[in-house]
Amino acid sequence: MHDSITVDSKPAPTPNQSSSQQPHRAGPSTVSVHAGEARQKPNDAITDSICCSSTYTFDSTQSILDYIHEKQDREEYGRYGNPNEKVVERKLAALDGAEDAILYSSGMAAIVGLLMTKLNAGDEIVFFDECYHRSREFCFKHLSRFGVVTHQVKTGDFDAMNAAINDRTKMIVSESPTNPHLTVVDLEQFVALGKERGVETLIDATLASPFNIQPLEYGVDYVWHSATKYLGGHNDLLAGVISGSKEKLEPVRKLRGILGCINAPHNMYLLERGLKTFALRMQRHNENGQRVAEFLASHPRVEHVYYPGLPSHPTHAIAKRTMKGFGGLITFLVRDADWRQTGSIIDACRIPRIGPSLGGVESLIEQPMVMSYFDYAPEQRAKFGIADNMIRMSCGIEDADDLIADLEQALSQS
Ligand SMILES: *Cc1c(COP(=O)(O)O)cnc(C)c1O
């Protein structure tokens, strides 16, 4: 009943599937609304019902044997997955243009699950240094205890990454765009390097989302998203996903069944519901991001704006070539402000709420120096490029005019 990642078993357009003559790939809105779901559902409901069950029963000993021998596609025990999670996995695979997608209980659980599967003692991994800090921390502090060696090189420096690869290297990792500097990485170059040196490639595409970038089309091996952000989109859940080929992901799924970091059916209902409006939300996030970034760039109290949609961004050309839009996240520096003055601008905002995270319908604002780096030494903060006068704003789906008016009044406070 649920065994395809197509939009529909009926004639409606399906991703990557040709109709009678010309191939037609459904757009992101159609995919986010329909993909992965059965057309006819239990009780004839249009929505997927929440299937709360920790175990799944067999009607006889023979049916267990059939399940084992015929590798039947059915549920067995909740740690291996549940019907609500499977629907969302198929939807996310379709959005990423992937054969398969594996959901986890958070973005971090997803990368831990992938790296625990793929890396052995003696293996090495190389990161671009603007990758999500907890993913690098997991490798440096924890995978090291199991004999895995981690290197990091400056983001976008392909010569340095090439030099850091040796015959023990198994994987190279980048985020794109990065947080908080919004550096976009050239995926063609990244994949070419991986292929040339015979190492697998992983992209954290959380900030782009599948709406703005399709890393698998470039030949990346694994795409990682924190579904907590744009995919969930409503600041009401945590989840993470890894997309890629069925073959490469099969052992990853097996280890997830041991680690047990799956999602409860209720959480998956929320994610499926959130995904229905994914493409619509992304359009608005992209529009708001661009407009607010342009406003900030023209404001006398703003020293600098980091936004890949602005020509002033060092990776604007790569972003324009590879991304459909540039997302809702903007980082900017306040002119001549110390950290307390910067904080008072945040405090003066009335619409964005103060907090970490990004990608939800509610705008969020924060000062990275206070929110994430307060107990770091100033030299360390400088090394990460975290300035005292830096503000990061995740534009939600509110009206851009309102966000701009709010920032205008906040920036005009003393
Ligand atoms: C939030 C985030 C993560 C981690 O995801 P969680 O769902 O919080 O575990 C990883 N990468 C990026 C870019 C993120 O923004």
Write out the chain in H/E/C secondary structure: CCCCCCCCCCCCCCCCEECCCCEECCCHHHHHHHCCCCCCCHHHCCCCCCCCCCECCCCCHHHHHHHHHCCCCCCCEHHHCCHHHHHHHHHHHHHHCCCEEEEECCHHHHHHHHHHHHCCCCCEEEEECCCCHHHHHHHHHHHHHHCCEEEEECCCCHHHHHHHCCCCEEEEEEECCCCCCCCCCCHHHHHHHHHHHCCEEEEECCCCHHHHCCHHHHCCCEEEEECCCCCCCCCCCCCEEEEECHHHHHHHHHHHHHHCCCCCHHHHHHHHHHHCCHHHHHHHHHHHHHHHHHHHHCCCCEEEEECCCCCCCCCHHHHHHHCCCCCCEEEEEECCCCHHHHHHHHHHCCCCEECCCCCCCCCEEECHHHHCCCCCCHHHHHHCCCCCCEEEEECCCCCHHHHHHHHHHHHHCC
Question: At 369, which CATH number?
Answer: 3.90.1150.10
The pTM (predicted TM-score) of the whole model is: 0.94
- In which band, very low, low, confident or very high, does the pLDDT at 313 lie, cut at 50, 70 and 90? very high
On whether residue 353 sits in a domain, the answer given is yes
Domain boundary among 232, 252, 276: 276
205 alpha carbon – ligand 1 mean position (Å): 10
Burial call 182-205: b when 16+ CB within 10 Å, e when fewer: bbbbbbeebbebbeeeebbbbbbb
Provide the number of structural domains found in the chain: 2
Same domain? 102 vs 233: yes
**One-letter amino acid for residue 5 of the chain:** I
313 alpha carbon – ligand 1 mean position (Å): 23
307 alpha carbon – ligand 1 mean position (Å): 19
Domain boundary among 276, 291, 317: 276
- In which band, very low, low, confident or very high, does the pLDDT at 21 lie, cut at 50, 70 and 90? low
**One-letter amino acid for residue 113 of the chain:** G
Same domain? 39 vs 178: yes
Residue 10 confidence (pLDDT) above 80: no
State percent of the chain over pLDDT 90. Answer: 92
Same domain? 234 vs 340: no
Residue with the smallest CA separation from ligand 1 atom 5 is: 107
| Candidate from 226, 261, 270 with most ligand 1 atoms within 8 A of CB, to mutate | 226
Residue with the smallest CA separation from ligand 1 atom 15 is: 206
On whether residue 119 sits in a domain, the answer given is yes
On whether residue 10 sits in a domain, the answer given is no
Same domain? 144 vs 215: yes
Ligand 1 pocket (Cβ < 6 Å) reads 106-108, 132, 175, 179, 204, 206-207, 226, 228-229, 238, 240
The token pair at 194 is 């991986």
Give the nearest ligand 1 atom to 239 CA: 7
133 alpha carbon – ligand 1 mean position (Å): 9
Weakest-pLDDT range from 14-23, 38-47, 143-152, 400-409? 14-23
Domain that holds residue 125: 19-276
Q: What does the pLDDT read at residue 20? A: 56
Determine phi and psi for 390, rounding to 5 degrees.
-95, 135
Segment 261-286 shows an average pLDDT of 98
Same domain? 237 vs 337: no
Rounded Cα gap, residues 266 and 32, in angstroms: 19
294 exposure class (CB count in 10 Å sphere: 0-12, 13-18, 19+): middle
Segment 348-355 shows an average pLDDT of 98
Segment 257-261 shows an average pLDDT of 97
On whether residue 9 sits in a domain, the answer given is no
Domain boundary among 261, 276, 291: 276
Burial call 134-162: b when 16+ CB within 10 Å, e when fewer: ebbebbeeebeeeebbbbbbebbebebbe
SS3 per residue for 151-163: EEECCCCHHHHHH
On whether residue 74 sits in a domain, the answer given is yes
Same domain? 193 vs 62: yes
Question: At 92, which CATH number?
Answer: 3.40.640.10
Give the nearest ligand 1 atom to 110 CA: 9
Same domain? 114 vs 221: yes
Residue with the smallest CA separation from ligand 1 atom 6 is: 107
Q: Are 296 and 302 in contact (CB under 8 A)?
A: yes
Same domain? 159 vs 199: yes
Residue 188 confidence (pLDDT) above 60: yes
**Other Cβ atoms closer than 10 A to 387:** 21
**How confident is the model over 102-127, as pLDDT tens digits?**
999 999 999 999 999 999 999 999 99
On whether residue 13 sits in a domain, the answer given is no
108 alpha carbon – ligand 1 mean position (Å): 6
| Candidate from 228, 267, 357 with most ligand 1 atoms within 8 A of CB, to mutate | 228
Same domain? 252 vs 294: no
Q: What does the pLDDT read at residue 13? A: 43
Residue 413 confidence (pLDDT) above 90: no
Residue with the smallest CA separation from ligand 1 atom 11 is: 132
The residue among 47, 38, 43, 48 whose CA lies nearest residue 10 is 38
On whether residue 2 sits in a domain, the answer given is no
Give the nearest ligand 1 atom to 357 CA: 1
Same domain? 257 vs 290: no
Give the nearest ligand 1 atom to 206 CA: 13
Q: What does the pLDDT read at residue 2? A: 42
Determine phi and psi for 220, rounding to 5 degrees.
-60, 145
Same domain? 336 vs 404: yes
Same domain? 105 vs 200: yes
On whether residue 62 sits in a domain, the answer given is yes
Q: Which residue is associated with the tokens 């199991």? A: 146
Average pLDDT over the chain reads 94
The set of catalytic residues is 79, 132, 204, 229
413 alpha carbon – ligand 1 mean position (Å): 33
| Candidate from 106, 108, 133 with most ligand 1 atoms within 8 A of CB, to mutate | 108
C-alpha torsion 185→154→310→379, nearest 10: 150
**How confident is the model over 268-280, as pLDDT tens digits?**
999 999 999 999 9
Segment 47-58 shows an average pLDDT of 97
